[in-house]
């Protein structure tokens, strides 16, 4: 037998490198997409950090023996806790001492230069790492009132966030619960957001009201968001507590409304809970430009993947400086500016959006002051600067340090890019710094970036073929009837873009269709919105609902699907017309909405223009209508059907400045555009009264649910005692199982929880089958006992065998006890289960091994699938829906609800080896997810594993 040293010399001089390659390959197979597949090192814990269950560790043991050509003692499988333990065993067998590497084996050079370790997988770890590495270094410069600039160091942010986290936990906020932030840009926001993360909570940033005239709409919009998120607390400024209390009356889950000063406390012995990469970090509500805001679920893994991908393209380093005025409740400002600075380690200079809007020159002056190298804004901000800033405003300003001027979040105008570059060239601004980008909240923030330093690329295409057929044919130089679209670059590294038709088929280049994307930044769902989630998901792709085409592999955005106006067989786009009308004298720039509205009498689509103006003289208003009519005819070849000249503040916008065309269409069709807003006291009074009524209804509903819960628990307890006695007394196990099934069915029937079952024919009592089900409640086992035919044997955790009451009952029913954490027993358990299957018995598994309160399908253990491939037994996946809501984790009183079960067709194993088990597991998981409408938590999480241990 060759020695380890000889083998290592022939293949690779470093045994550590070889061992980690085997470990990472296995982790990648077991958990596709897991960050651990890249970051695993010698000290990674096999189960908690790498997600390798007992059978996976046995497979690792076998692979390492083959790789190093050694025979290791079987005890190593049970004793090893890290890859380093395996390496020590291998080297000990060969008589070689381990030599620690002189440099990390997992940290590429570009990761070091970018300021943060690549082995960090959560924002919590990132904040702690920066505080430890660069504690007193300035992280944020906050521009406040009167020109005061407040520095915030990493250490200060971490210290104050810990105080808030401790206060949140003491007030009853538990890990995984959402907490809303209604705070302006400032120190409080950064500390509160970080504090929620350190408490293990989920941040829900919302914006405070800006004008009393919009108070009613603001309250209604925030109520919708807070109810959807089911927030348990709300942190706001002292002046916002009145509005916040009104929200509390409308949102039953809110327990506390507080300020940063009130919630912060002494951290004392507070310890940050375990937070995993696949845990939700915060909920980003879409801006609502085309409808009601939807809660985009973003995990720590989504955020870090997107930030690192953007960093790879832009090549930022800790020497860069980001200057921002973007709102922190919007993805570009929160993720692109602040969290990007936190992860990448460069300083951030930030001011409030209102500070920029009242005086746009402040943005450019801040870039000059801080020698800013990066800044980002929507198109309207660049247009505002180009048209309103005077030379007197910028005396002495130098913009030559600005190397990345990102333009995104709304359609990018080629005219705006040209005007901005020309206007500020004399102040040192380089046109090549302009970086039109594309992104959306559903992909965290960024999707496509062009290469830095290239400058804008503008595509001139023939108008008629594009309007009639959607083909982007390049126009000749002398062609004047053209459309111009700006290139937003190629997909970020590790991400993918395609253009698809209405049926989801990929289109060729230069053909317009739906822009779809996929990658590690893509969200899994809209929170509690299965209908919109289903619309967004196109298999493995996500639909952006943006229209675009590809040319040379780069994307050109042409519009939103909901904004597209189809008129006489032509596709009309509102953006160009809105910009042109906004430039007319007497019109308010950026305050024009163009949309289609279906005429009720003809069912055809009308072209409607809503434009804000301060002009009141009838003659001048008539002249404006004539000009708008002429412009529309020239630009899109069709005059508008309706032109409404509205007073200021009539055109609704999102928090990022996008026109809310869907909301404007609704107002137009209701005839409410330009109507006066109700007085604020009436709004508050009406909102308060409706809050009292809502509280009363909730009290009655809560009382009814409590009585129901007490009834169900009492009945369940009585039936449990009777069932145990009967099961213990009847002579045979089969008869005992029939008694248990009858009692289980009686329980569900008496509690009005009779489930809706589909696919029951896929399970036959006369055929051996492995049944795998998701696990979301203690009701799941009772439910399957009530419904499954024959006498299937349930696998249960081995710890229950230690309790006499449970042991007698479960053994009589034929349950199979499985030691989940005893690695050395895993092979014996698998063999025992295989023998059961060969005896033509069916076995029921809950491969998640545990459950938790938040929705989501946890990673599967391999036991069921290993037994299936060993015995060549088909697997029947079952999706149980509703039990998580009827009896959530931590609750002992059931709630009324609807339960359904979807039984999927059997899946036959396609092989007998380890990879066949992985393939079978993946197929079963896919089948379940098609019915569950819950997130796919594919990565091993410390939280889930820790919860599993705590229950034992």
CA torsion sign for 578, 583, 587, 590 is positive
Give the closest residue to 590 by CA, choosing from 432, 360, 781, 422.
360
The region of weakest confidence among 407-411, 676-680, 878-882 is: 676-680
634-686 residue pLDDT tens:
666 667 888 899 998 888 877 556 788 777 887 887 787 765 554 555 655 66
The region of weakest confidence among 61-75, 394-408, 426-440, 679-693 is: 679-693
Write down the pLDDT at residue 102.
39
One DSSP character per residue, 713-757 reads HHHHHHHHHHHHHHHHHSS-HHHHHHHHHHHHHHHHHHTT-PPEE
Tokens of 7: 């083998």
What Cα–Cα distance (Å) separates residue 776 from each residue in 526, 885, 935, 938? Answer: 20, 9, 13, 16
Structure-token match 């030691």, residue found: 819
Mean pLDDT for all residues in the chain? 84
Residue, of 245 and 368, whose pLDDT is higher: 368
Q: How many CA atoms lie within 13 A of 709 on its CB side?
A: 15
What is the model's pTM?
0.65
Structure-token match 């619960």, residue found: 177
Cα-flanking dihedrals φ and ψ of residue 422, to 5°? -70, -40
* CA–CA–CA angle 406, 411, 413 (5° rounding): 80
Contact 757, 903 (CB under 8 A): yes
- Which range among 200-214, 264-278, 336-350, 609-623 has the greatest average pLDDT? 336-350
The region of weakest confidence among 383-387, 795-799, 858-862 is: 795-799
Give 200's pLDDT tier (boundaries 50, 70, 90).
very high
743-798 residue pLDDT tens:
999 999 999 998 999 999 999 888 889 999 999 899 999 999 999 998 998 988 87
pLDDT of 945 > 50? The answer is: no
* Rounded distance between C-alpha atoms, residue 523 and residue 441, angstroms: 8
Residue, of 843 and 566, whose pLDDT is higher: 843
Write down the pLDDT at residue 181.
94
* CA–CA–CA angle 919, 923, 926 (5° rounding): 135
Q: What is the mean pLDDT of residues 490-498?
A: 94
Write down the pLDDT at residue 9.
36
Give 932's pLDDT tier (boundaries 50, 70, 90).
confident
Name residues whose C-beta falls within 8 Å of residue 825's C-beta, 6 or more positions apart in sequence. Answer: 54, 819
Q: What percent of the chain has pLDDT over 70?
A: 85
Count of Cβ atoms closer than 10 Å to residue 728 Cβ: 12
CA torsion sign for 787, 788, 790, 796 is negative
Give the closest residue to 67 by CA, choosing from 2, 129, 146, 124.
2
- Which range among 174-183, 209-218, 560-569 has the greatest average pLDDT? 174-183
How many residues does this entry show for the chain?
952
Give 29's pLDDT tier (boundaries 50, 70, 90).
confident
* Rounded distance between C-alpha atoms, residue 316 and residue 890, angstroms: 45
The region of weakest confidence among 31-35, 206-210, 251-255, 262-266 is: 31-35
Write down the pLDDT at residue 332.
92
Give 137's pLDDT tier (boundaries 50, 70, 90).
very high
Write down the pLDDT at residue 556.
96
* CA–CA–CA angle 867, 869, 874 (5° rounding): 90
* Rounded distance between C-alpha atoms, residue 634 and residue 344, angstroms: 48
Write down the pLDDT at residue 97.
57
Contact 183, 255 (CB under 8 A): no
Q: What is the mean pLDDT of residues 16-25?
A: 87
Q: Is 397 left (phi over 0), alpha (psi -120 to 50) or beta?
A: beta
Report, in angstroms and rounded to the nearest whole number, the Rg of the chain calculated over CA atoms: 31
* CA–CA–CA angle 803, 806, 811 (5° rounding): 115
Write down the pLDDT at residue 107.
35
pLDDT of 6 > 70? The answer is: no
Q: What is the mean pLDDT of residues 116-135?
A: 84
The region of weakest confidence among 390-394, 444-448, 796-800 is: 796-800
């Amino acid at each position: 037998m060759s020695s380890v040293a000889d083998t290592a010399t022939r293949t690779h001089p470093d045994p550590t490198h070889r061992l980690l390659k085997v470990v990472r390959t296995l982790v990648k197979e077991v958990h596709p997409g897991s960050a651990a597949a890249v970051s695993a090192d010698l000290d990674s814990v096999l189960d908690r950090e790498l997600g390798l269950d007992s059978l996976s560790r046995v497979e690792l043991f076998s692979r390492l023996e083959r790789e190093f050509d050694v025979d290791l003692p079987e005890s190593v499988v049970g004793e090893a806790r890290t890859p380093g333990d395996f390496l020590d065993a291998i080297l000990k067998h060969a008589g070689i001492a381990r030599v620690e590497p002189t440099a990390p084996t997992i940290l590429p050079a570009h990761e070091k230069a970018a300021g943060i370790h690549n082995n960090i997988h959560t924002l919590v770890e990132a904040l702690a790492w920066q505080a430890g590495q660069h504690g007193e270094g300035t992280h944020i410069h906050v521009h406040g009132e009167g020109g005061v600039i407040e520095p915030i160091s990493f250490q200060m942010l971490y210290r104050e966030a810990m105080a808030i986290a401790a206060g949140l936990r003491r007030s009853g906020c538990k890990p995984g619960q959402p907490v809303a932030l209604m705070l302006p840009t400032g120190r409080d926001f950064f500390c509160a957001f970080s504090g929620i993360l350190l408490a293990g909570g989920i941040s829900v940033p919302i914006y405070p009201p800006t004008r009393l005239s919009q108070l009613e709409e603001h309250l209604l919009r925030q109520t919708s968001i807070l109810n959807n998120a089911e927030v348990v607390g709300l942190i706001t400024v002292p002046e916002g507590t009145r509005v916040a209390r009104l929200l509390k009356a409308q949102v039953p889950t809110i327990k506390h409304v507080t300020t940063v000063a009130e919630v912060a406390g002494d951290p004392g012995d507070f310890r940050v809970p375990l937070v995993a990469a696949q845990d939700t970090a915060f909920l980003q509500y879409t801006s609502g430009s085309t409808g009601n805001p939807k809660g985009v679920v973003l995990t720590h893994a989504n955020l870090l993947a997107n930030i690192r991908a953007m960093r790879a393209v832009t090549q930022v380093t800790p020497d860069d400086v980001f200057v921002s005025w973007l709102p922190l409740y919007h993805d570009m400002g929160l993720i692109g500016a602040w969290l990007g600075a936190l992860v990448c380690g460069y300083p951030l200079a930030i001011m409030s959006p209102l500070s920029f809007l009242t005086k746009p020159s402040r943005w450019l002056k801040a870039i000059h002051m801080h020698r800013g190298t990066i800044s980002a804004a929507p198109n309207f901000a660049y247009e505002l600067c180009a048209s309103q800033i005077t030379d007197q405003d910028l005396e002495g300003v130098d913009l030559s340090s600005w190397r990345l001027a990102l333009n995104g979040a709304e359609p990018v105008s080629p005219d705006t890019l040209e005007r901005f570059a020309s206007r500020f060239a004399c102040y040192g601004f380089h046109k090549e710094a302009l970086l039109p980008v594309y992104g959306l909240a559903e992909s965290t923030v960024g999707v496509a970036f062009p290469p830095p330093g290239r400058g804008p690329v503008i595509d001139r295409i023939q108008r008629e073929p594009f309007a009639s057929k959607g083909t982007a044919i390049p126009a000749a130089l002398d062609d004047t009837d053209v459309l111009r679209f700006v290139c937003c670059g190629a997909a970020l590294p590790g991400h993918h873009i395609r253009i698809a038709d209405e049926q989801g088929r990929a289109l060729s280049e230069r053909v317009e269709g739906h822009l779809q994307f996929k990658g590690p930044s893509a969200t899994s769902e809209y929170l509690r919105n299965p209908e919109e989630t289903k619309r967004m998901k196109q298999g493995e792709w996500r639909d952006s609902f943006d229209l675009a085409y590809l040319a040379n592999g780069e994307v050109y955005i042409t519009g939103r699907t909901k904004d597209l106006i189809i008129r006489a067989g032509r596709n009309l786009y509102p953006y160009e017309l809105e910009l042109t009308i906004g430039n007319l004298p007497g019109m308010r720039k950026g305050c024009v909405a163009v949309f289609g509205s279906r005429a009720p009498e003809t069912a055809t689509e009308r072209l409607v223009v809503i434009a804000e103006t301060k002009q009141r003289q009838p003659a001048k208003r008539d002249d404006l209508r004539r000009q708008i009519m002429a412009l529309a005819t020239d630009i899109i070849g069709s005059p508008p059907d309706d032109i409404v000249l509205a007073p200021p503040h009539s055109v609704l916008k999102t928090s990022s400045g996008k026109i809310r065309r869907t909301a404007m269409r609704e107002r137009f069709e209701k005839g409410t555009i330009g109507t006066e807003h109700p007085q604020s006291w009436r709004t508050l009074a009406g909102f308060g009264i409706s809050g009292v009524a809502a509280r009363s209804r909730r009290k009655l509903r809560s009382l009814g649910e409590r009585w129901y819960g007490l009834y169900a628990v009492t009945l369940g307890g009585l039936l449990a005692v009777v069932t145990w006695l009967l099961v213990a007394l009847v002579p045979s196990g089969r008869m005992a199982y029939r008694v248990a099934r009858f009692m289980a069915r009686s329980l569900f029937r008496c509690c009005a929880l009779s489930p809706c079952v589909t696919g029951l024919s896929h399970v036959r009592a006369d055929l051996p089958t492995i049944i795998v089900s998701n696990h979301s409640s203690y009701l799941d086992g009772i439910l399957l006992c009530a419904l499954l035919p024959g006498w299937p044997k349930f696998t249960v955790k081995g710890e229950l065998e230690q309790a006499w009451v449970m042991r007698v009952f479960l053994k009589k029913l034929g349950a199979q006890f499985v030691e989940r954490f005893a690695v050395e027993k895993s092979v014996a358990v698998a063999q025992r289960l295989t023998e059961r299957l060969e005896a033509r018995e069916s076995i029921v598994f809950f491969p998640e091994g545990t459950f938790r309160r938040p929705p989501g399908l946890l990673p599967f253990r391999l036991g069921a699938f290993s037994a299936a491939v060993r015995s060549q037994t088909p697997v029947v996946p079952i999706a149980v829906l509703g039990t998580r809501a009827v009896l959530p984790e931590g609750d002992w009183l059931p709630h009324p609800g609807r339960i359904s079960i979807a039984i999927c067709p059997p899946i036959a194993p396609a092989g007998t080896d380890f990879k066949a088990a992985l393939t079978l597991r993946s197929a079963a998981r896919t089948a379940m997810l098609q019915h569950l409408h819950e997130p796919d938590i594919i990565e091993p999480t410390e939280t889930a594993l820790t919860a599993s241990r705590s229950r034992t």
